Structure 1
Amino acid sequence: MQRKASARWQGNLQYGKGTLNTESGALKDIPYSFATRFESAPGTNPEELIAAAHSGCYAMALSGALAKKGFNADTLDVSATVTIEKNGDGFTINSSRLKLRAQVPGIDKKLFESIAQDAKVNCPVSKLLKADITLDIDFHETMSPSQHAH
Protein backbone atom coordinates (compact mmCIF):
# COMPACT_ATOMS: atom_id res chain seq x y z
CA MET A 1 0.00 0.00 0.00
CA GLN A 2 1.34 3.44 -0.91
CA ARG A 3 0.10 6.91 -0.03
CA LYS A 4 1.17 10.00 -1.91
CA ALA A 5 1.43 13.72 -1.20
CA SER A 6 3.12 16.50 -3.10
CA ALA A 7 4.53 19.96 -2.56
CA ARG A 8 5.13 22.85 -4.92
CA TRP A 9 7.46 25.70 -3.90
CA GLN A 10 8.06 28.95 -5.74
CA GLY A 11 10.67 31.55 -4.86
CA ASN A 12 13.42 31.71 -2.28
CA LEU A 13 13.33 30.25 1.22
CA GLN A 14 12.38 33.33 3.21
CA TYR A 15 9.90 35.02 0.86
CA GLY A 16 8.77 32.16 -1.36
CA LYS A 17 5.60 30.21 -0.93
CA GLY A 18 4.34 26.73 -1.49
CA THR A 19 1.30 24.49 -1.57
CA LEU A 20 0.73 20.97 -0.28
CA ASN A 21 -1.60 18.36 -1.77
CA THR A 22 -2.53 14.80 -0.89
CA GLU A 23 -3.64 12.16 -3.34
CA SER A 24 -6.85 11.64 -1.33
CA GLY A 25 -7.77 15.31 -1.62
CA ALA A 26 -7.76 15.77 2.18
CA LEU A 27 -5.18 18.51 1.57
CA LYS A 28 -5.68 20.54 -1.59
CA ASP A 29 -3.48 23.53 -2.39
CA ILE A 30 -2.83 24.12 1.33
CA PRO A 31 -0.43 27.07 1.59
CA TYR A 32 2.81 26.97 3.54
CA SER A 33 5.76 29.32 3.76
CA PHE A 34 8.77 30.33 5.84
CA ALA A 35 6.38 32.36 8.01
CA THR A 36 4.04 29.40 8.65
CA ARG A 37 7.02 27.21 9.51
CA PHE A 38 9.34 29.42 11.54
CA GLU A 39 7.04 32.24 12.64
CA SER A 40 3.37 32.32 13.70
CA ALA A 41 1.69 33.04 10.38
CA PRO A 42 -1.54 31.10 9.75
CA GLY A 43 -1.11 27.98 7.67
CA THR A 44 0.54 24.61 8.07
CA ASN A 45 4.11 23.33 7.95
CA PRO A 46 5.90 20.00 7.62
CA GLU A 47 6.41 19.59 11.38
CA GLU A 48 2.70 20.08 12.13
CA LEU A 49 1.84 17.46 9.51
CA ILE A 50 4.40 15.03 10.96
CA ALA A 51 2.85 15.61 14.40
CA ALA A 52 -0.63 14.88 13.02
CA ALA A 53 0.62 11.72 11.29
CA HIS A 54 2.50 10.53 14.37
CA SER A 55 -0.38 11.10 16.81
CA GLY A 56 -2.92 9.46 14.48
CA CYS A 57 -0.70 6.48 13.73
CA TYR A 58 0.18 5.95 17.39
CA ALA A 59 -3.48 6.02 18.46
CA MET A 60 -4.26 3.30 15.90
CA ALA A 61 -1.17 1.24 16.82
CA LEU A 62 -2.07 1.38 20.51
CA SER A 63 -5.68 0.44 19.79
CA GLY A 64 -4.49 -2.60 17.84
CA ALA A 65 -1.98 -3.60 20.54
CA LEU A 66 -4.67 -3.34 23.22
CA ALA A 67 -7.06 -5.47 21.16
CA LYS A 68 -4.42 -8.23 20.84
CA LYS A 69 -4.42 -8.40 24.66
CA GLY A 70 -8.23 -8.41 24.83
CA PHE A 71 -8.82 -4.76 25.74
CA ASN A 72 -10.88 -2.11 23.98
CA ALA A 73 -10.18 1.57 24.67
CA ASP A 74 -13.08 3.93 25.32
CA THR A 75 -10.86 6.83 24.26
CA LEU A 76 -7.25 7.39 23.29
CA ASP A 77 -6.43 11.10 23.08
CA VAL A 78 -2.97 11.53 21.59
CA SER A 79 -1.02 14.65 20.76
CA ALA A 80 2.45 14.89 19.28
CA THR A 81 4.79 17.85 19.59
CA VAL A 82 7.44 17.88 16.87
CA THR A 83 10.44 20.11 17.57
CA ILE A 84 12.61 21.74 14.92
CA GLU A 85 15.70 23.69 15.98
CA LYS A 86 18.45 25.68 14.33
CA ASN A 87 21.52 23.51 13.87
CA GLY A 88 24.50 25.35 12.40
CA ASP A 89 23.48 26.69 8.98
CA GLY A 90 20.37 24.53 8.80
CA PHE A 91 17.60 23.07 10.91
CA THR A 92 17.05 19.68 12.52
CA ILE A 93 13.79 18.01 13.46
CA ASN A 94 15.07 16.46 16.66
CA SER A 95 12.04 15.03 18.43
CA SER A 96 8.43 14.00 18.36
CA ARG A 97 6.95 13.95 21.85
CA LEU A 98 3.79 11.90 22.15
CA LYS A 99 1.31 12.69 24.91
CA LEU A 100 -1.44 10.17 25.69
CA ARG A 101 -4.60 10.37 27.75
CA ALA A 102 -6.48 7.08 27.77
CA GLN A 103 -9.59 5.45 29.16
CA VAL A 104 -9.38 1.68 28.90
CA PRO A 105 -11.74 -0.41 31.00
CA GLY A 106 -10.48 -3.45 32.89
CA ILE A 107 -6.70 -3.01 32.44
CA ASP A 108 -4.20 -2.38 35.22
CA LYS A 109 -1.81 0.56 34.96
CA LYS A 110 1.41 -1.46 34.67
CA LEU A 111 0.11 -3.61 31.82
CA PHE A 112 -1.32 -0.57 30.04
CA GLU A 113 1.98 1.32 30.28
CA SER A 114 3.86 -1.70 28.91
CA ILE A 115 1.49 -1.99 25.93
CA ALA A 116 1.61 1.79 25.36
CA GLN A 117 5.43 1.84 25.31
CA ASP A 118 5.55 -1.13 22.94
CA ALA A 119 3.05 0.57 20.60
CA LYS A 120 5.23 3.70 20.59
CA VAL A 121 8.20 1.69 19.32
CA ASN A 122 6.16 -0.31 16.81
CA CYS A 123 3.99 2.49 15.41
CA PRO A 124 4.83 2.72 11.66
CA VAL A 125 5.43 6.50 11.87
CA SER A 126 7.77 6.01 14.84
CA LYS A 127 9.68 3.52 12.71
CA LEU A 128 9.69 5.94 9.76
CA LEU A 129 11.37 8.61 11.82
CA LYS A 130 14.34 6.20 12.09
CA ALA A 131 14.10 4.85 8.52
CA ASP A 132 16.45 5.00 5.59
CA ILE A 133 15.34 7.79 3.28
CA THR A 134 15.63 7.40 -0.48
CA LEU A 135 15.51 10.11 -3.11
CA ASP A 136 14.75 9.87 -6.83
CA ILE A 137 15.59 13.05 -8.75
CA ASP A 138 14.12 14.32 -12.02
CA PHE A 139 15.92 17.59 -12.74
CA HIS A 140 15.19 19.94 -15.63
CA GLU A 141 17.57 22.85 -16.05
CA THR A 142 15.93 26.18 -16.83
CA MET A 143 17.42 29.45 -17.92
CA SER A 144 17.46 32.31 -15.45
CA PRO A 145 15.76 35.57 -16.56
CA SER A 146 19.20 37.08 -17.34
CA GLN A 147 19.96 34.19 -19.72
CA HIS A 148 16.77 34.90 -21.69
CA ALA A 149 18.08 38.32 -22.69
CA HIS A 150 20.97 36.91 -24.75
Structure 2
Amino acid sequence: MKRNATAVWEGSLKEGNGKLTTESNVLSNTQYSYKTRFESGNGTNPEELIAAAHAGCFTMQLTAYLNESGYRVASLETKCNVDFQNGSVVSSHLSVIGRVDDISTEAFQEHVQKAEKNCPISRLLNTEISSHATLVKN
Protein backbone atom coordinates (compact mmCIF):
# COMPACT_ATOMS: atom_id res chain seq x y z
CA MET A 1 0.00 0.00 0.00
CA LYS A 2 1.29 3.43 -0.91
CA ARG A 3 -0.12 6.80 0.14
CA ASN A 4 0.73 10.24 -1.15
CA ALA A 5 0.45 13.92 -0.45
CA THR A 6 1.47 16.94 -2.50
CA ALA A 7 3.06 20.18 -1.34
CA VAL A 8 3.11 23.28 -3.54
CA TRP A 9 5.17 26.31 -2.43
CA GLU A 10 5.20 29.78 -4.00
CA GLY A 11 7.54 32.63 -3.14
CA SER A 12 10.39 33.06 -0.70
CA LEU A 13 10.66 31.16 2.57
CA LYS A 14 9.50 33.97 4.86
CA GLU A 15 7.00 35.75 2.60
CA GLY A 16 5.80 32.80 0.55
CA ASN A 17 3.25 30.17 1.34
CA GLY A 18 2.32 26.67 0.46
CA LYS A 19 -0.61 24.35 0.12
CA LEU A 20 -0.84 20.70 1.11
CA THR A 21 -3.20 18.17 -0.45
CA THR A 22 -3.55 14.53 0.54
CA GLU A 23 -4.63 11.67 -1.67
CA SER A 24 -7.88 11.36 0.31
CA ASN A 25 -8.50 15.13 0.03
CA VAL A 26 -8.90 15.38 3.80
CA LEU A 27 -6.29 18.07 3.35
CA SER A 28 -7.17 19.96 0.19
CA ASN A 29 -5.01 22.98 -0.57
CA THR A 30 -4.47 23.38 3.19
CA GLN A 31 -2.36 26.45 3.83
CA TYR A 32 1.05 26.36 5.48
CA SER A 33 3.75 28.99 5.70
CA TYR A 34 6.77 30.24 7.59
CA LYS A 35 4.40 31.96 10.03
CA THR A 36 2.39 28.80 10.72
CA ARG A 37 5.59 26.92 11.36
CA PHE A 38 7.69 29.37 13.37
CA GLU A 39 5.27 32.03 14.60
CA SER A 40 1.48 31.94 14.62
CA GLY A 41 -0.74 32.01 11.61
CA ASN A 42 -3.73 30.43 9.95
CA GLY A 43 -2.81 26.99 8.64
CA THR A 44 -0.79 23.94 9.56
CA ASN A 45 2.87 22.94 9.61
CA PRO A 46 4.90 19.76 9.11
CA GLU A 47 5.44 19.16 12.84
CA GLU A 48 1.71 19.40 13.57
CA LEU A 49 1.07 16.86 10.82
CA ILE A 50 3.74 14.54 12.25
CA ALA A 51 2.10 14.83 15.67
CA ALA A 52 -1.29 13.94 14.17
CA ALA A 53 0.18 11.00 12.29
CA HIS A 54 2.02 9.71 15.36
CA ALA A 55 -1.01 10.06 17.66
CA GLY A 56 -3.28 8.30 15.15
CA CYS A 57 -0.85 5.50 14.37
CA PHE A 58 0.02 4.83 18.02
CA THR A 59 -3.66 4.77 19.04
CA MET A 60 -4.52 2.26 16.31
CA GLN A 61 -1.51 0.08 17.23
CA LEU A 62 -2.44 0.17 20.93
CA THR A 63 -6.02 -0.78 20.09
CA ALA A 64 -4.76 -3.72 18.00
CA TYR A 65 -2.53 -4.99 20.82
CA LEU A 66 -5.30 -4.66 23.41
CA ASN A 67 -7.79 -6.45 21.14
CA GLU A 68 -5.29 -9.25 20.41
CA SER A 69 -4.99 -9.77 24.17
CA GLY A 70 -8.76 -10.00 24.53
CA TYR A 71 -9.47 -6.56 25.98
CA ARG A 72 -12.39 -4.42 24.88
CA VAL A 73 -11.44 -0.80 24.28
CA ALA A 74 -14.18 1.66 25.18
CA SER A 75 -11.99 4.62 24.17
CA LEU A 76 -8.42 5.81 23.80
CA GLU A 77 -7.49 9.48 23.52
CA THR A 78 -3.90 10.29 22.57
CA LYS A 79 -2.21 13.67 22.40
CA CYS A 80 1.18 13.86 20.72
CA ASN A 81 3.66 16.68 21.38
CA VAL A 82 6.42 16.96 18.81
CA ASP A 83 9.41 19.06 19.89
CA PHE A 84 11.06 20.95 16.99
CA GLN A 85 14.37 22.62 17.91
CA ASN A 86 17.17 24.03 15.80
CA GLY A 87 15.78 22.59 12.59
CA SER A 88 15.22 19.05 13.91
CA VAL A 89 12.41 17.08 15.47
CA VAL A 90 14.11 16.08 18.72
CA SER A 91 11.32 14.17 20.44
CA SER A 92 7.76 12.97 20.25
CA HIS A 93 5.78 12.44 23.47
CA LEU A 94 2.51 10.52 23.50
CA SER A 95 -0.03 11.01 26.30
CA VAL A 96 -2.87 8.51 26.26
CA ILE A 97 -5.99 8.22 28.37
CA GLY A 98 -7.61 4.82 28.07
CA ARG A 99 -10.93 3.35 29.00
CA VAL A 100 -10.41 -0.38 28.69
CA ASP A 101 -12.57 -3.02 30.33
CA ASP A 102 -11.09 -5.49 32.83
CA ILE A 103 -7.41 -4.56 32.47
CA SER A 104 -4.89 -3.87 35.22
CA THR A 105 -2.84 -0.68 35.19
CA GLU A 106 0.31 -2.79 34.76
CA ALA A 107 -1.07 -4.66 31.73
CA PHE A 108 -2.25 -1.39 30.19
CA GLN A 109 1.21 0.17 30.66
CA GLU A 110 2.85 -2.88 29.02
CA HIS A 111 0.60 -2.55 25.97
CA VAL A 112 1.30 1.20 25.79
CA GLN A 113 5.06 0.64 25.82
CA LYS A 114 4.78 -2.04 23.14
CA ALA A 115 2.69 0.26 20.90
CA GLU A 116 5.06 3.19 21.54
CA LYS A 117 7.98 1.16 20.23
CA ASN A 118 6.23 -0.67 17.39
CA CYS A 119 3.70 1.57 15.67
CA PRO A 120 4.86 2.30 12.11
CA ILE A 121 5.30 6.04 12.72
CA SER A 122 7.39 5.40 15.85
CA ARG A 123 9.61 3.14 13.78
CA LEU A 124 9.86 5.82 11.07
CA LEU A 125 10.90 8.65 13.38
CA ASN A 126 14.59 8.87 14.24
CA THR A 127 14.07 10.69 17.54
CA GLU A 128 13.39 10.17 21.22
CA ILE A 129 9.89 8.82 21.76
CA SER A 130 8.20 8.67 25.15
CA SER A 131 4.71 8.14 26.49
CA HIS A 132 2.52 8.61 29.54
CA ALA A 133 -0.62 6.57 30.04
CA THR A 134 -3.63 7.00 32.27
CA LEU A 135 -6.11 4.17 32.67
CA VAL A 136 -9.59 5.30 33.65
CA LYS A 137 -11.62 2.65 35.46
CA ASN A 138 -15.38 2.62 34.93
**Separation in structure 2 between the aligned mates of residue 14 and residue 93 of structure 1, nearest angstrom:** 20
**Equivalent of 1:108 in 104, 107, 110:** 104
- 2:23 is equivalent to residue 23 of structure 1: yes
Give 2:36's aligned amino acid. Answer: T
Of Structure 1 and Structure 2, the greater strand share is in 2
Give the equivalent residue in structure 2 for 1:2: 2
Q: Which has the higher contact order (CA 8 A, sep 6+)?
A: 2
TM-superposed deviation, 1:30: 0.5
Pair member with larger Rg:
1
**Separation in structure 1 between the aligned mates of residue 41 and residue 124 of structure 2, nearest angstrom:** 28
Instruction: Within 5 Å, give how 1:1-150 maps onto structure 2.
Output: 1-86=1-86, 91-130=87-126
Give the equivalent residue in structure 2 for 1:137: none
Deviations 1:27-67 (A, max 9, x none): 11011000000001121000001111110111100000001
**Separation in structure 2 between the aligned mates of residue 42 and residue 11 of structure 1, nearest angstrom:** 17
Point out 4+ residue stretches in structure 1 off by more than 6 angstroms: none
Give 1:46's aligned amino acid. Answer: P
Normalising by structure 1, we get a TM-score of 0.82
Normalising by structure 2, we get a TM-score of 0.89
The answer for unaligned runs of 5 or more in structure 2 is 128-138
**Separation in structure 2 between the aligned mates of residue 22 and residue 16 of structure 1, nearest angstrom:** 21
TM-superposed deviation, 1:130: 3.0
**Separation in structure 2 between the aligned mates of residue 84 and residue 130 of structure 1, nearest angstrom:** 13
| Count of aligned positions | 127
Secondary structure, aligned partner of 2:73 = coil
Give the equivalent residue in structure 1 for 2:136: none
**Separation in structure 2 between the aligned mates of residue 85 and residue 112 of structure 1, nearest angstrom:** 32
**Separation in structure 1 between the aligned mates of residue 6 and residue 124 of structure 2, nearest angstrom:** 18
Give 1:115's aligned amino acid. Answer: H
